[in-house]
Structure 1
Amino acid sequence: MSSLATRSIIDYNIDLTDLVTNQQLREAVQYDSIAEGNDVATGPEDLSLEDMATGSPARRPDCFEVIGTDVNLMLPDRPMDLQFSVSDRVPIVFDAQPAELQEYWAKLNDFVQTNDVSVPPQPPIGFEHKGKTYILQSSSNVRQSTEDVLQIGDIVDGVSVFSENTLDLESHQNSTTCKVVCQSTSDEAWNQFLANCDRLSASVPKHGSNDDDESK
């Protein structure tokens, strides 16, 4: 089990869902506070033009200031391990977002509405926010889908289960993560959250996929 180190993060998501096909797609960029000792990451060299050039405008981004902790739980007798994440997410309104992120959103919005085959804009390497320096930690293209793991009668308000297919825009590697999210503090929701984690960690991932099981 990993140590309970707290991370200060800026989580930045741009909704790129195609208004015609309704395929759920987003540009996900994460920045870690430089105080956490992370190395500076370079921006992505290229982007999946087929996925990004949808012709639909990018909605205004969701931006959060996040304080969180991750705990990795190794399960040698299960097909998958678990990562538990606890976070406090405070939204940052568009006008209060760092100028570098606002400029990036504007350029990306222009890019996805054209058929231009040029290289898409890169997210900023870093910026200052509230006296802290943040550096680029990851930049990904993420598709989200609902994971059918709940049995009839198991649906509880505040608990959701879904899978995410992520393309890392720097390494161009794909990975799939199944997430169980619990936003309620009720006993019923917490018990259902743990039951779903147990069910998912016991499931066998599809052959050839790179699956991780993440719980929040």
Structure 2
Amino acid sequence: MPHNHFMKNTVLSSTIGVTLLGGGKVEPATLSHALTLAPHLVAADGAAQTALEYGYMPKAVIGDFDSLSSDMRKQMPSEILHHIAEQDSTDFEKCLSRVDAPLILGVGFMGARIDHELSVYNTLVRFPEKRCLIVGEYDICLHAPRQLRLELEVGTRVSLFPLKPVAGASSGLLWPIENIAFAPGGRIGTSNEASDKTVDLEFYDDGMLLILPRHTLPRLLDALNVRVD
């Protein structure tokens, strides 16, 4: 069923970036850095507690509130609390489908529960129109656009992981991807690397995750034509 079937009313519409905070472990410096790039903060359910502990009041809190205590709710204005009771989607999907912004940086979604993390990547593929980057302590991950030109240092790790059958083309990779049928449970493209300062990627369908070292985030934002003031 097309993902648009699940689109819900927008909770936050922004012309600048949004940082989406999840319930996994996130260092204060990582959240602070994300907010310099995407200043509006949205918390997924119980992640609101982390936001408050780090000194931030979210613009919105979205989720089924199964991990947000009543005491915690009382610490926030009622108008920022958006309780979505249905259980057919994760809190990440509830947030992503209700936030409209040119850039969404997801922090607190890597490195904790693996089932939650996998569900995040599944959601990225189902909402390809959302420009959402998951930022961890070591890596960043996004649903790859159909075409992307990256300026990277030679030797930079470039990993590709398909969540749907997908093929593509490349230049500037140590191991080119032409004539490879990527698929879940089949051929994957992890631990490739840049063999040139310019890496061109093209994919013939949605479904490919692109995973890069976190230090490449500024160059990735440049490649996506995201300008941060």
The two structures have a TM-score, normalised by structure 1, of 0.27
Higher percent of residues as strand: 1
Higher percent of residues as helix: 2
The structure showing larger relative contact order (alpha-carbon pairs under 8 Å, at least 6 residues apart) is 1
The two structures have a TM-score, normalised by structure 2, of 0.26
